[in-house]
Chain A
Amino acid sequence: MAVLRSKRHSVSGKGQRVWSLVKKESRQVVRDPSSIALGIVLPLVLILLFGYGLSLDVMNVPVAVVLEDPSPDATELAASFELSPYFDAEFLTSMARAQQLMLARKVDAIVRIRPDFGRRLVVGDAEIQVLVHGVDANHARIIQSYAQGAINQWAARRTAKGQAVFSGPVTVQNRLWFNEANESRYFLIPGLIVLIMTLIGAFLTSLVVAREWERGTMEALFVTPVRPDEILLGKTIPYFVLGMIGLALCLLAAKFLFHVPFRGSVIVLISASMLYLLVALAIGLLISSAFKNQFVASQIALLVTFLPAVMLSGFLFDLRSMPAVVRVVTYILPARYYVSLLQTVFLAGDIWSVVLPNAAVLAGMAVLFLVFTRRATQKELV
């Protein structure tokens, strides 16, 4: 009877202890403007920036069109740059002026139609020169292909008028599955969820144990009856909730503000996100209890979680183009699996052959890191 009672007592005592720790930690989060800023304000700012401002789609490229040939053919060609939605064309007659504009970075490209263009076109040997500002290589490459596109349009219009066949015999018809509109924000916003979960899960929590060590409150916790796994739970639960709030914000914005197509099921998305959040939390706490110094812990957390989530997850840069060594490294990064999962669930649907393996890896990592973290916490308490 006594044993039973003490056992029951200990269970409810455990619950009580965890609950008070959760309460304490939550109050710390709510009362500290910086945690709220990182947990709620930053996600909102990022969502709005990515949704409204940032786009890899290039529009309105300022370009100088130097028209040195007044012939109707040349004028018509120059006009096709004005018609194109991709260019913001400024017409000039002197190359020197155009070069000045390019030097001052007022234009990103110069299209030069030489004085003999009309004459040589008749002979079938005309040339159009496109000079692009190459510093932003990706941007430059896009401008080149848009210039080619504007010229092809012009050629097609002439062909239609029966003036000559300019286009090649084979044409390419492109179809983009899952993102028919070719909107970069359709893949940037799911990627954003990864960044936000990483920030809340790993960056924010990398501070919390180190903070207690720095302020000396960790020793104070030792002398209470709290057990290590209870400390861990008390630290995990509030940030888990904060992370889920961040996720909810992102999902609502994605659906109602930016109308990103969502073709999978919410349950799959939420369970996968919980798994990833657990991994991130475990890594953050592990770093925090290993380094015991807020500055160092936060730097390490940025370096091993946030930076890889941006650079090495496939969110922005394609994993297949990376050097083999780097590609091998990406396999140990949880963000990689989560990004693949998110992009699939958002844009393609519940494709189980993609979802299940990625979710399994995340689950394995969650267990592994939680065990590590539990070990690290226990050692210090002994």
Chain B
Amino acid sequence: MFDALLRIFALTRKELLAILKDPRSRYSLFLPPILQCLIYGYVATYDLNDVPYAVLDQDRSAASQKLLAGLDGSRVFRRVANLERAVDIKNMIDQRRVVLVVQIDQDFERRLLSGAQANVQVIADGRNSNTAATAMGYVSSIVESFNSDWRTEHGQGDPPIRLSTRAWYNPNLETRWHMIPALIGTLTLLQTLLLTGLSVAREREQGTFDQLLVTPFRPSEIMVGKALPSMFVGIMQATLVLLVAQLWFRIPFAGSFFTLYTGMSLFVLAAIGMGLLLSSMAATMQQAMLFSFLLIMPFSLLSGLTTPISSMPESLQYLTYINPLRYAINIAHRVYLEGAGLRLLWPELWPLAIIAAVTLPIASWLFRHRLT
């Protein structure tokens, strides 16, 4: 027993040296995660500001001016042109000079004063339909507030029904609060898969894996020796992202560190199991790298981070159940933003435990049986 521990310790030490000795590989462990955190924190947002738009105001009345003043004063929109003719709309949008054009017909004010419905047309560039839909949503809410002002000013009273909305856990609806905690899972997965995959593939490519197999190491000991350093590095990187989230972006942490680290350790174990399984299929470092990339792309697309899982077709929703990243991102969000405890997290924890319990033994069995 003591011998086994000693052997595992020696292997772990050797693996850590292999990872940390080369300064370039040291940098590539810590620099990319920090850079990615910053990029995601500043860039990954569907919120819009400074949207260029143009106006075709055929009414030129006090009412239309007031509506447009609402758009200009919103900080979301920036008026870049006042159009004269309807044909100009096509030019502005085709050449991507504006995201949308607001068109007000010439009977706008007359209809409003006579109590009829007045229309505002919004023509948007659908080449990025997500941006367009968001921008149109902003226009709608500005028109909404114009409406309620108009009713008050013209003695029609407040609208009889009000919608009051409140967002839990992320009161100002900041996309950053969603992205950065999720990176704790995403970046950790990327690095653990790569590290574990490469550590075995490097030995195979250089022929030292066969040497390792003829030493007194048992396959399970080799597995633990390969898993521990990756686990160590994985947890370190999760910590790094956590620090950036709290110290740089100042996203308030609602849960307990103990819960978060319990969840993350389980996740890293599952990721290592997958990495080791992958490395038993890879004969060279190139293969290990490309295979892990091949796995990471679908994992991150099907994790619910960029598109909600409930909007996916049902068959794909089932597929997400074997995706460890799905659980990791849920855990990160729920602990970080919602402050959930272990009991609430149970549905996310046991699938990870099962993934680890299935992949790790198979991987260690494959160490020896692949050779023959």
Contact = CB atoms under 8 A, between A and B. Distances in A.
A308 to B, nearest CB: 8
Given A169-B117, A170-B112, A170-B119, A126 B160 contact: yes
A176 B124 contact: yes
Contact of A168 (B147, B162, B175): B147
B286 A176 contact: no
B294 A41 contact: yes
Contacts of B337: 135
Interface stretch (A218-226, A239-247, A275-283, A296-304): A296-304
Contacts of B137: 141, 145
Interface stretch (B93-101, B213-221, B265-273, B357-365): B93-101
A134 B338 CA distance: 10
Contacts of A271: none
A299 B28 contact: yes
B289 A207 contact: yes
Interface stretch (A64-72, A89-97, A229-237, A347-355): A347-355
B44 A311 contact: yes
B255 interface: no
Contacts of A179: 126-127, 129, 132
Contact of A316 (B96, B117, B132, B306): B306
A347 B298 CA distance: 26
A347 B163 contact: no
B301 A49 contact: yes
Contacts of B177: 135, 137
Contacts of B194: 295
Interface string A179-207: 11011101100000000000000011001
A321 B47 contact: yes
B122 A172 contact: yes
B311 to A, nearest CB: 6
B168 A125 contact: no
Interface residues of A, number: 109
B243 to A, nearest CB: 20
A34 B282 contact: yes
Given A173-B120, A295-B25, A137 B170 contact: yes
A61 B310 contact: yes
15 contacts: A130-B166, A131-B167, A135-B333, A135-B338, A138-B178, A141-B173, A169-B147, A187-B127, A311-B43, A318-B128, A320-B50, A321-B48, A322-B43, A326-B42, A326-B43
Contact of A176 (B51, B126, B287): B126
Interface of B: 24-25, 28, 32, 35-36, 39-40, 42-52, 67, 93-96, 99, 112, 115, 117-134, 136-137, 139-140, 143-144, 146-148, 150-151, 157-171, 173-175, 177-178, 194, 198, 282, 284-287, 289-291, 293-294, 297-298, 301-302, 306-308, 310-313, 316, 330, 333-334, 337-338, 340, 344
A203 B293 contact: yes
Nearest to B287: A34
A293 B311 CA distance: 41
A265 B248 CA distance: 47
Interface in A94-121: 102-105, 108, 121
Contacts of A50: 301
A135 B169 contact: yes
A131 B158 contact: no
A289 B51 CA distance: 42
B157 A124 contact: yes
Contacts of B289: 34, 207, 294-295, 298
Nearest to B337: A135
Contacts of B150: 168-170
A55 interface: yes
Contacts of B285: 214, 294-295
B143 A323 contact: no
Given A104-B344, A296-B28, A168 B151 contact: yes
Contacts of A299: 28, 32
